[in-house]
Structures are given as C-alpha cells and as structure tokens.
Chains A and B, each alone.
Chain A
Amino acid sequence: MELKLKPEEIRNDLVKKVEELAGVNVFACYQCGKCSSGCPSVPYMEILPNQVLRLLQFGKVERILRTNTHWVCASCFVCSTRCPKDIDIAAIMEALRQIELRKNQDYLIVRRIDTEEMKEFPPIALVSAFRKLTA
C-alpha cells in the first residue's frame, strides 16, 4: 500500500478524537506486533491491529475506516491485555466504530437479518451486536 505522509496530517483532529475517545496515546506504540499475533479476528481483518496503530501514527484515520478491521473486532480484549505499552487497542477499535456510527450509519443492517434466524439468537447476541454495530 502506498502512503504519502504529510507533517500537517500527523495527530490531526481525527487522530486526536480517537485518542480522546479511547484514552490512549497512539505514539506509545512501538510496533512489536503482539496485539496482532494474539488477535483471533486477524484472519478476517483487512488490516491488522498493529497496522491500525501505525496508520494512526501517520494520521491516516480515513484509510483505516475504509477497512473492515474495526467491525470484525470481537472486543475480546486480548490485544489490550497483552500490549507491553499498555495501549487499550480494543478501545481504539471501539472509538473507530463510534466515529462511523455517530454519522448515523449502521454497519449491521438489522432488517436484513433473516426473521427465522432472529428467533434463534439469544438476547445477548442481538443486544451486543446492536450495541457494537448500529448507530
């Protein structure tokens, strides 16, 4: 992937928003890759958790938001638990989801869920999916 870095983009407003929402400093990350090596969702992610951090350091939030990474993140907290720099990566994923959801755009389109399927889901499956993936 080609990236053009511009000094004025570093820690732009959107990066600051992510940092504020997630309570993190993205520059603390030294790219050890521990988050990605433990992440169970990696096989399904278009970019890996440590790449999310790298792009945040470069100010490329829009580039991250074009991927599915924050949507397939299952909030399992392995990354945040293992990060040697104490970065709450799971909260960063949540901040990225929130930035999109607050534009009132759902990731999960509820009316497309099969009605028969809907009956099978336990309440926690539906409530957690709505909470994480709908505005």
Chain B
Amino acid sequence: MKIAYYPGCTLKSTAKNFEISAIAVAKELGIEFVELSRWNCCGTVYSMTSDDVMHHLAPIRNLIRVKEDGFEKVVTLCSMCFNTLKRANILVQREREKLDKINDFMYLENIDYAGDVEVLHLLEILRDDIGWEEIMTHVKNPLNGLVFAPYYGCLLVRPPEVAIDNVEMPYVLDRLFESLGAKAIDYPYSTECCGAYNTVSNPDIVLDRTYTMVNLARQQGADAIILSCPLCDFNLEARQKKVMEKYPDFHPLPVLYFTQIMAVAFGLPENTYGFEYNSINPEGIFKKAGERL
C-alpha cells in the first residue's frame, strides 16, 4: 500500500526519531510512505476565529499537493499537523463560501481544492488497515514485561470531530502495546494537556505539569510514556532536565514515540530506532524487558 506522507517541520528537525522509526515500521508492514513532493508548514494550530480564512491557506495548500501527487489520502505522524490539516479540511467541506474564497486566493495553483482528501493518522492505519493480528505476526522481540503509559494528549482525540478514537477513553495505544507484548497502565493523564505552547510563554506551567504527570506514570509502574506528538514530547521528555533542577526529588522517565517501540519489537535494525534523538536514553528499559523474560 502506497500513501502520501506529510511530515511537517518538526519531524525534520527535533523529532527525527519519530520519522525514521515510522518509515521503517510502515515499510515492515508493507506501507510505503511517499513524501509529498512539495509541502509547507501547516501552521501548527487551527485558527478558530470565524473571520480568519487566511490561516487556513497553509493546511489547504498541503491538501492540494496531495491531489497534485495523485493521492486521495494523506498520512501524518505529528498530532498537531494531523489536527490542523483535518480541521481545516472539515471546515472547507462544511463552508463552501470559505472554500471558494481560499481557492480564489490560490488561483495560481493548478487545481481547485474540493475538500476531497482524507487526512489520516498512522495509528488509524495500523488499527483499521493493518490490524493488530497482522502487527503481532511481525513481532520478533516481544516487549514482555514492559509497562507503558499511553499518552494521547489533546489533538488526536479533541475536538470530537477529528478524534481517531473514543474521546474520553481512547484505547488504540493500549491495543498496540498488547500486540507488541507489553502492557498499558490505566493512566488518568492519558488525554490531559501537556501545557502546549505555554512552554515558550509560561515555562513553569509546563514544568509543574510534567513533574506531576511523569511522577504518576512512574508510581503506576510505567517503564516509559509513549506518545505521538513532538510538542508533547518536548514538554514531557526534553523538559525533564529542567524539572529536575526545579524539583530535586524528581527522577527522569523515558518517553518514546509509539513507532520507536514498534521498531524494537519488530527487531528492525538499530539505526531505525532513532534513540540518539531522545533526550533521555530509553535503551535500559528494553534490556530490562530481556531480563524479565
């Protein structure tokens, strides 16, 4: 299966580990990611004010690129890109007038956009097109004994119109962990916000939230937190260094992208794990899994 792939800016910079592992895992499952031949930043956040049409140009332009490259569906990895592209798409499907205005403005594009691209997140493809049973057949190193905190954050499940799973009780990550031989904790902060862009404007908010959320995951027995958003990852993983400075009693906990644990479980070459981009080295937990076997 071939699918158009929209990476977004952060997967090309601080979240290379997400991209490397995702492409390798997809390939193992017979999915070829075809990166859009041209793409631009989606804007990262969906503009919510009714008179702001301008900021929907960026996501819609990317959807035009999907059509140009001959695809009907596009897959994203970053939760923020997913949310922004999907919401902008829903908006133009519902509001013809805005779609016309956007197409008018982009008259230099070769095609008019008609709202007909399907925006997907990789987790949806794993669940709906590949299936857990098929995924299980690719597991060479089951992650037996490992316990993960599933962390969806906001943008995979809210608002409900874009949710990839049950809004209040998502379980797609739980199913994925089980397929890989690991277990999920029943994590109360699973869909709680990490503080998002407050990391730039009010960093203390994020440090306090990370302290609380990581501590609870640890107390519940998690070996790592597993997520899908590079901003959540920055706040929950990279920021742990600053959390330690603020709270000396804090101990770091590894945080990984869901595709990284898949690459390990599938026994793919180590250069597809991208651990060198993780600010907290997660290798130890996999050794632990080996010992527990």
CB–CB A90/B45 < 8 A: no
Given the interface contacts A120-B238, A122-B10, A124-B9, does A44 sit within 8 Å of B167 by beta carbon? no
Q: For chain A, what secondary structure do more than half of its interface residues adopt (helix, strand, loop), or is it mixed?
A: helix
Q: Give per-residue flags for A4-28: 1 if the beta carbon is below 8 A from chain B beta carbons, else 0.
A: 0000000000000000111100000
Interface: A104 (CB within 8 A): no
CB–CB A108/B200 < 8 A: yes
Name the contact of B200 in the complex, choosing from A77, A90, A94, A126 (C-beta under 8 A): A126
Interface: A132 (CB within 8 A): yes
CB–CB A81/B158 < 8 A: yes
Interface: A95 (CB within 8 A): yes
Q: Which residue of A lies closest to B200 (CB)?
A: A129
Q: Which residue of A lies closest to B159 (CB)?
A: A77
Name the contact of B158 in the complex, choosing from A78, A94, A122, A132 (C-beta under 8 A): A78
Q: For chain B, what secondary structure do more than half of its interface residues adopt (helix, strand, loop), or is it mixed?
A: loop
- For A, the interface residue count at a CB cutoff of 8 angstroms equals 38
Residues of A within 8 A of B (CB): 20-23, 40-41, 44, 71-72, 74-78, 80-81, 88, 90-91, 94-95, 98, 107-108, 113, 120-129, 131-133
B99 to chain A, nearest CB (A): 17
Chain B residues positioned under 8 Å from A133 (CB to CB): 197, 200-201
Name the contact of B13 in the complex, choosing from A20, A41, A88, A123 (C-beta under 8 A): A123
CB–CB B159/A98 < 8 A: no
Given the interface contacts A76-B158, A91-B49, does A123 sit within 8 Å of B41 by beta carbon? yes
CB–CB A22/B50 < 8 A: yes
CB–CB A127/B160 < 8 A: no
Chain A residues positioned under 8 Å from B238 (CB to CB): 120
Residues of B within 8 A of A (CB): 8-10, 13-15, 41, 43-45, 47-52, 55, 78, 80, 154, 158-160, 167, 192-193, 195-202, 205, 209, 230-231, 234, 238
Given the interface contacts A21-B50, A77-B159, A81-B159, does A122 sit within 8 Å of B14 by beta carbon? yes
Further 8 A-B residue pairs, CB within 8 A, beyond A76-B154, A126-B200: A75-B196, A80-B158, A91-B49, A95-B48, A121-B200, A123-B10, A125-B200, A131-B44
Given the interface contacts A22-B48, A22-B49, does A74 sit within 8 Å of B41 by beta carbon? no
Given the interface contacts A74-B193, A124-B10, does A21 sit within 8 Å of B202 by beta carbon? no
CB–CB A23/B50 < 8 A: yes
Q: List 9 A-B contacts (CB under 8 A).
A: A20-B50, A75-B48, A76-B196, A81-B160, A98-B49, A122-B230, A122-B234, A127-B43, A128-B231
User: Which 7 A-B pairs rank lowest in CB-CB distance, beginning with the nearest?
Assistant: A76-B193, A129-B200, A77-B158, A129-B197, A122-B14, A123-B9, A94-B48
* In the bound complex, CA of A76 to CA of B209 (Å): 14
Chain B residues positioned under 8 Å from A108 (CB to CB): 200-201
CB–CB B200/A113 < 8 A: yes
Chain B residues positioned under 8 Å from A123 (CB to CB): 9-10, 13-14, 41, 44
Name the contact of B196 in the complex, choosing from A20, A81, A88, A128 (C-beta under 8 A): A128
Q: Which residue of A lies closest to B50 (CB)?
A: A23
CB–CB B197/A74 < 8 A: yes
B90 to chain A, nearest CB (A): 14
* In the bound complex, CA of A95 to CA of B8 (Å): 27
Q: Which residue of A lies closest to B13 (CB)?
A: A123
CB–CB A122/B209 < 8 A: no
CB–CB A94/B201 < 8 A: no
Chain A residues positioned under 8 Å from B47 (CB to CB): 94, 131
Name the contact of B45 in the complex, choosing from A72, A80, A131 (C-beta under 8 A): A131
* In the bound complex, CA of A94 to CA of B197 (Å): 14
